[in-house]
Amino acid sequence: MRRQIQIRDRWKEQRLVTSRLLFTAILVVAMSGGLVWRLFHIQVSHHEVFAELAQGNRVRIEPLAPTRGLIFDRNGQLLAENLPAWELVAIPEEIVDLAASLQALEALELLDPAERGNLIDAINSHRRFERVVLANLTESQAARFSARRHRFSGIDIREGLIRHYPYGDLTGHSIGYMGSISAADMQRIDRANYAATALIGISGVERSYQDELHGTVGFRQQLVNAQGRVLVDPASIGASSDSMPGTLDTRWPIPGDNLVVSLDIQLQLAAQRAMEGLRGAVVAVEPATGDVLALVITPAFDPIRFAAGLSHSGYRELETDPDKPLFNRALAGRYPPGSTVKPFLGLAAMNLNALNPDDPTFCGGHYSLPGQTHQYRDWRREGHGLVDLHRAVVESCDVYFYRLAVNIGIDAIDSSLRTFGFGDRTGIDIGGEIRGVVPSRTWKRNNFSRREDQTWFPWETFISCLGQGYTTATPLQLAHATAALAAGARFRPRMAVALQTAVSGEVVAIDPVRLDSLPEIDPRHWQRIREAMIGVTEDPSGTGRLAMQQTPYRVAGKTGTAQVISLAQDEEYDEEALDERLLDHGLFIAFAPADNPTIAVAVVVENGGSGSGLPAQAARRILDAWLAAEDYG
């Protein structure tokens, strides 16, 4: 079989190769031309635009936190300061094994295991090569880490500042404390001004005056590479007053303003000692200004624990403590005011011409409404005999005030107490205050859903007139109302009295605010009530006489006892048979010196029994501390 041989067309193949080479050459020339045009576009036509973009990629702006302002008491005693501290910081990109590193730090007791989730969230949300604060360290913790620093890549310690409160738990509820910035805080603050700040005021003065205390953030411009590492550019050396390597420019932060508060820390200390071992609150106010001289809650908490970084377990321990050290009893504790309301209602009845203060009323130990057999008892079973307004206040006669309640009615009781600030917030310049309750027909309709529960009964008027039942007030509201009795005027309670500006050092006073809520009251009526309150502490039958005897100054006061449990009509109150936390609350209000008051005080002792006992004794020690330097000779 003959085999066919195919002869190749060499000329055709040569033309094909030549055409392909020509196409490739044209493509290379076109691409090179495009590249040249692009370089011309970048380097010549739009040089300034792209140079600026390149500079933006090379310059990092690092925020610099301002130094927080200091807080002083009215006499210049330091209440809140900033102390050098150690911060445990990390650059996550330089950590080889994050999980292992965190676990090792926990084993050294430098981190709380319960905080690991929050730390990981913080690390994940940081900018590249930005330092993340892991924890504040004590001196011993810093030393412990330093000895093992070589084991931790990307983790180090640096000097920082920590908030410190020299008086510890003495100012926990008034000055407050610092804590981490929450998501809610982020919605209200200027984020740019808090770029370098991890903590914010959580409560008390630290919270209310956060903006003034915080200051203004600064910044540092540094050269960095594409990975975020700081570069040292020889051209930048000497370009800034900042000694930090690679710094191009620095705007130093402006410190926060210093704050002067109304507290007298020595009076605060005296109040705390007077309440040692008790649960309750003390509020002392200057009648002529509304300045809060003392605000003490017992038991309390040490704000330094929060500033140093309180663990979840530590917070849980405070939160579940049955004595509730975190609870601000002075601003948020609702207590029946008991018989401390009697001077206010006696004044109101005189002002309404509903009684003649000199007319006697017989007290046989109980009172019944006309046509009814139910007896409303007096605290003194045998009664007080014939009593006028003066003696009714001095001996705290319940029957007298039952009759007064019938004469003026619940609506007058409601409006009269409200004029002195009961049933409302006082407006103090720190947060956490709640309203008290002054019940009335309207109040009951608004607070009970069932129609049968909305009816107002006569017996409810009686117990309201004794400061019991639905009626409640906070210790702050009691002190505020007592100050109004002392001054004949109401001033908004306040903590801040002056600011010292950081830049100039100028001290700017904050003026007190007078509240126009008291009606026109006959000066003779004021005097009658003040004399009756003086009788409480001076008359032989006065309920506060024992605690206030032999004072070098005169005290106008009133005792109060608030029932925690109700008793049946014929049931006796047996203090020894009751659980401690079911005992009556004791209250005492006072102002002194009675003829020229410079202080009004309210003391509430939970389950402390009669107001003539522990509360009055505590008030005596507080008044002595405030008036000890005065000359009454």
Number of residues in the chain: 633
The amino acid present at 351, given as its one-letter code, is N
- Nearest CA to 292 out of 428, 171, 201 is that of 428
Buried residues in 110-122 as b, exposed as e (16+ CB within 10 A): bbbeebeeebeeb
Question: The tokens of 116 are what?
Answer: 């690991």
Rounded to whole angstroms, how far apart are CA atoms 328 and 495? 15
Buried residues in 511-545 as b, exposed as e (16+ CB within 10 A): ebeeeeeeeeeeeebbebbbbbbbbbbbbeebbbb
Which residues, including other chains, have CB under 8 Å from residue 451's CB and lie 6 or more apart?
none
Residue 254's Cβ-count burial label (10 Å; 0-12, 13-18, 19+) is: middle
- Nearest CA to 292 out of 275, 271, 316, 317 is that of 271
Catalytic residue, chosen from 174, 262, 339, 612, is 339
Which residue, chain included where needed, has tokens 């200057």? 286
The amino acid present at 79, given as its one-letter code, is L
- Nearest CA to 177 out of 202, 143, 211 is that of 202
The amino acid present at 136, given as its one-letter code, is N
Which residues, including other chains, have CB under 8 Å from residue 434's CB and lie 6 or more apart?
331, 332, 334, 425, 474
Rounded to whole angstroms, how far apart are CA atoms 492 and 370? 43
Which residue, chain included where needed, has tokens 């931790």? 152
Beta-ladder partners of 602: 283, 589
| Strands 71-72 vs 258-261: parallel, antiparallel or unpaired | parallel
Question: The tokens of 163 are what?
Answer: 């908030």
Per the CB < 8 A criterion, the answer to whether 106 and 113 are in contact is: yes
Rounded to whole angstroms, how far apart are CA atoms 514 and 362? 41
Rounded to whole angstroms, how far apart are CA atoms 482 and 558? 10
Helix (H, G, I), strand (E, B) or coil at 401: helix
Known catalytic membership, residue 415: no
Which residue, chain included where needed, has tokens 């180090």? 156
The upper half-sphere exposure of residue 206, i.e. CA atoms within 13 Å in the direction of its Cβ, equals: 26
The amino acid present at 30, given as its one-letter code, is A
Beta-ladder partners of 585: 562
Neighbours of 25 (CB within 10 A): 10
**Which of the residues are catalytic?**
339
